Chain A
Amino acid sequence: MEDQLLCCEVDSIRRAYQDVNLLNDRVLHTMLKAEETYLPSPNYFKCVQKDIVPKMRKIVATWMLEVCEEQKCEEEVFPLAMNYLDRFLSVEATRKTRLQLLGATCMFLASKMKETVPLTAEKLCIYTDNSVQPGELLQMELLVLNKLKWDLASVTPHDFIEHFLSKLKVHPSTKQILRKHAQTFVALCATDVNFIASPPSMVAAGSVVAAVQGLYLKSQDASLSSQNLTNFLSQVIRSDPDCLRSCQEQIESLLESSLRQAQQHSSTTETKRMEEDVDLSSTPTDVRDINI
């Protein structure tokens, strides 16, 4: 019996409790101020990179998401890793053959930042089909750290989601689903080049609005109607409602195109199964469809 209890303790993931004292406006404003410093340069494909094009970022991002998924990383690891990747690419011209090494290194660092049991260099190298060696990854880690000026505490959309949810009057169980949907949208946005320059607060707010929309929560409460919610959240993040609306629309169309792509893939190949799973099952509308 005792042994079993001990086993359980060791096996499950331990997390710190959410500190409600941190969900206040002072923290939120500090985050809004801080997020600017972690934004990548919006046009690094044009200004810095010669070998890397936007399509390749999508490829490496999809792979990274897949690895994070399979390794059951904490949700914020992937967006954080993408932030490192974009910030690195904003300052350092990189060859496309080394983009995957960079992606693996960024996951390595993000995982160390956010997880109690981080990904190992060895495992990440296996995921590159051993095209990268652990020694290279460790040296790359130093280079990335140096280029990021050792500042890895980026603000991510995840940091904002909790703040926004705390301001909505919804049932805790609904909140949990809302959180999950919003996080999925955030991950989706992190794979898309059009959101590179969007502040995390904007992506988070857009994702929450899109999640509320997708779950048809507006019928329950007028404050959750698209317009009211957009107005409210745009005030919270000190932005323009139109900006937020266009961000939300962008997120929704991204979802739609991902879905369409996934359907095409599903009819052709099976190798893309994972991606398809991500896209198909993560959609609020899709989930509703299944239920009805």
Chain B
Amino acid sequence: MSDVRLSNGSPTLERTDPRVSEHPKPSACRSLFGSVDHEELKKDLKGHLREMEEAASAEWGFDFANHTPLANDRFRWEAVSYRDVPDFYHRPPRREKGVCSAGNNNVDLNGNHSCVLVTAPGGDTDRSEGPMECTEQCTGLRKRPACHDPSAQNKRSHTSSEEVSCSSLSHAAEHTPRKTSPKRQT
């Protein structure tokens, strides 16, 4: 039996090599459909993101940009201490070694711009080593409104940690929605 090779990039039957770190082959780096209209793209994306944020605001009765509840009859929002929610909602992202070596230190392994560190005031367990320390230098992308997309959240709509997941700001307390249903679960 013979080996099947998809290409030189793929080992025989199962890929076992780690990701290649060298620079991509020049032939694979190409612009396919002409130059991108960056200004217009920026404007359009901004528009889309604003629409998404507005839709989420309407859905949840919450002004995500200003972190304040809107007047609405569907949810009642309560502040919850960040200490009362699981730590993955507020701990800083883990950084792997060598991730930042590519030169752009604002982009991490997943391409996320340096996210906001939520070492909340008095946060004791969070380590803050030099390179791990995220800075708040990136502005536009920090608030990711789609975090508030309803469909991403509805599975947890009864937990009390609802909105804290997206409170990437260093607020010690957050608002939490509660359905204004007459029945309270115990």
Contacts and interface: CB of A to CB of B under 8 A. Distances in A.
B163 to A, nearest CB: 17
Contacts of A277: 5-8
Interface string B1-42: 110111111111111111110011101111111111110011
A154 to B, nearest CB: 15
What interface size band does chain A fall in? Answer: 35 or more
Interface string A125-165: 01111011111111110110110011100000000000000
B151 A149 contact: yes
B54 interface: no
B112 interface: yes
B107 interface: yes
Q: Is the interface of B mostly helix, strand, loop or mixed?
A: loop
B88 to A, nearest CB: 17
B110 interface: yes
Contacts of B146: 142, 145-146, 150
A141 to B, nearest CB: 8
A13 B15 CA distance: 8
Nearest to A70: B9
Interface string A107-118: 010001000011
B6 A100 contact: no
B45 interface: yes
Contacts of B33: 56, 59, 96-97, 99-100
Interface in B66-122: 102, 104, 107, 109-113
A177 B49 contact: no
A288 B36 CA distance: 44
Nearest to A284: B4
A150 B102 contact: no
A72 B17 CA distance: 8
Contacts of A139: 45-46, 49, 141
B70 to A, nearest CB: 20
Contacts of B19: 71-72, 117
B129 to A, nearest CB: 20
Contact of B6 (A11, A67, A131, A278): A278
Interface of B: 1-2, 4-20, 23-25, 27-38, 41-42, 45-46, 48-49, 52, 102, 104, 107, 109-113, 140-141, 144-146, 149, 151-152
27 contacts: A12-B17, A63-B30, A70-B20, A96-B33, A97-B35, A97-B36, A97-B37, A98-B41, A100-B33, A101-B41, A117-B19, A118-B110, A128-B29, A128-B30, A131-B36, A135-B141, A136-B36, A136-B41, A139-B141, A142-B52, A149-B151, A181-B4, A273-B27, A274-B7, A281-B6, A287-B4, A291-B2
Given A72-B19, A74-B15, A145-B146, 5 more contacts: A59-B32, A63-B32, A120-B110, A138-B112, A143-B45
